[in-house]
Amino acid sequence: MSAAAPDWLDAALTCLARGKPCTLVTVAAVAGSAPREAGTKMLVHLDGIAGSIGGGHLEFKALAEAKSLLQTAAAPQAELLDFALGPSLGQCCGGRVTLLFEPLTPGALPWLTAWQQLSGERVLLTRLTPLTKIVIAPRKAPADLGFDLSDPLRALAASAAPAALFHRDDPGSCYLLERMVDSRQDLYLFGAGHVGRALVQVLGLLPYRVRWIDGRAEMFPPVLPANVEVECSTSPRHDVATAPPASFFLVMTHSHPTDLEICDQVLKRGDFAFLGLIGSETKRATFLSRLRQRGHGDAILARLTCPIGLPQVTAKEPASIAIAVAGQLLACSEAILRDRLAAHSDGGASVGRRAL
């Protein structure tokens, strides 16, 4: 899975805002076994990196090439390089990877901003010669491209691949199509106890927008991960009602009546991606009985996950529970994202075009 609303995107916008040179490395194509899939990105600047194309010697070589582009006195140019993942790289994956090295300039701001402010799915077309970025709706190619993009767009829409590299008949005409998908999902975490605090640290490394709710302001730590927003509230009903569709909900407050109220409200909505309740099998049985009394049927109650966490992890320390819950969330998230990428998308017009 490629990570979207990704750290590379935030880092790229920050670098450009500060006038700091940077190079974007994209896995443009993969053949055989490889550490990451096409569409994976890594942002390289002189002080560090954001994202990863898979580590190992491949990433080491990519970093060296990206930094050499940053230090060249000539005008920066994009380039495609092929790497065999064999003995020459000290790797035994056995596949091949094509990497796109793209020095970013202020001219990249339109498409970077379009990705950051993404509403719905879009496709980014990168034309290498001359370097041009065009943001389009899925399967809706602009008429003024000068060539027919319909078949590649249909192929991308019909597959689960995040990106595809293709060549036209004329020499040197190479194009990359990428899905501009925000893979982050909205997650509402109710409760700032020991497990909640441990879980937030793990979620800070994962593709979620976390809204963390508790009525006790003193329970929140002074420093939070960048993707976590806190709310001191004793009225979780409002937070459930205003959550976007397909949100994730984790319920672990210090009050069983509050837990029950939150679960009741989420189940009434019905449009959630995941509802997890911390507790034992006994707590689950008690809650199911009380929720049935509130009018919930067996079909919707079957979607309440309690206990939470991967069942293979039985340790009860807060950190262990947090990791088990995060693993369960990721499994659910990846299944949702696979379905989303495989869906055929329509609608929307071209939102931007810029030759760099």
- Find the CATH number of the domain harbouring 216: 3.40.50.720
Residue 315 lies in a domain: no
Q: Are residues 218 and 69 in the same domain?
A: no
- The span from the CA of 192 to the CA of 178, in Å, is 38
Residue 333 lies in a domain: no
Give the per-residue pLDDT at 96: 87
Q: Are residues 148 and 249 in the same domain?
A: no
Give the per-residue pLDDT at 345: 41
Q: Are residues 78 and 11 in the same domain?
A: yes
- The span from the CA of 158 to the CA of 152, in Å, is 10
Q: pLDDT tens across 97-156, in order?
A: 999 999 998 989 999 998 888 767 789 999 887 788 888 877 677 767 777 788 888 888
**Higher model confidence: residue 344 or residue 43?**
43
Residue 322 lies in a domain: no
Give the per-residue pLDDT at 245: 93
Residue 323 lies in a domain: no
Number of domains the chain contains:
2
Q: Are residues 11 and 119 in the same domain?
A: yes
Q: Are residues 60 and 172 in the same domain?
A: yes
Q: Are residues 191 and 102 in the same domain?
A: no
* % of the chain surpassing 90 pLDDT: 52
Q: Are residues 138 and 244 in the same domain?
A: no
Look at residues 123, 151, 182 and tell me which one is the last residue of a structural domain. 182
Q: Are residues 178 and 189 in the same domain?
A: no
Q: Residue 200: which domain range?
A: 185-308
Look at residues 154, 182, 210 and tell me which one is the last residue of a structural domain. 182
Q: Are residues 221 and 164 in the same domain?
A: no
Q: pLDDT tens across 205-217, in order?
A: 898 999 999 999 9
pTM here?
Answer: 0.71
Q: Are residues 164 and 203 in the same domain?
A: no
- For every residue of the chain, which 3-state class applies, written as one string? CCCCCCHHHHHHHHHHHCCCCEEEEEEEEEECCCCCCCCCEEEEECCEEEECCCCHHHHHHHHHHHHHHHHCCCCCCCEEEEEECCHHHCCCCCCEEEEEEEEECHHHHHHHHHHHCCCCCEEEEEECCCCEEEEEECCECCHHHCCCCHHHHHHHHHCCCCEEEEECCCCCCEEEEEEECCCCEEEEEECCCHHHHHHHHHHCCCCEEEEEEECCHHHCCCCCCCCEEEEECCCHHHHHHHCCCCCEEEECCCCHHHHHHHHHHHHHHCCCCEEEECCCHHHHHHHHHHHHHCCCCHHHHCCEECCCCCCCCCCCCHHHHHHHHHHHHHHHHHHHHHHHHHCCCCCCCCCEEEEC
Q: Are residues 51 and 162 in the same domain?
A: yes
Q: Are residues 108 and 22 in the same domain?
A: yes
Residue 330 lies in a domain: no
Residue 36 lies in a domain: yes
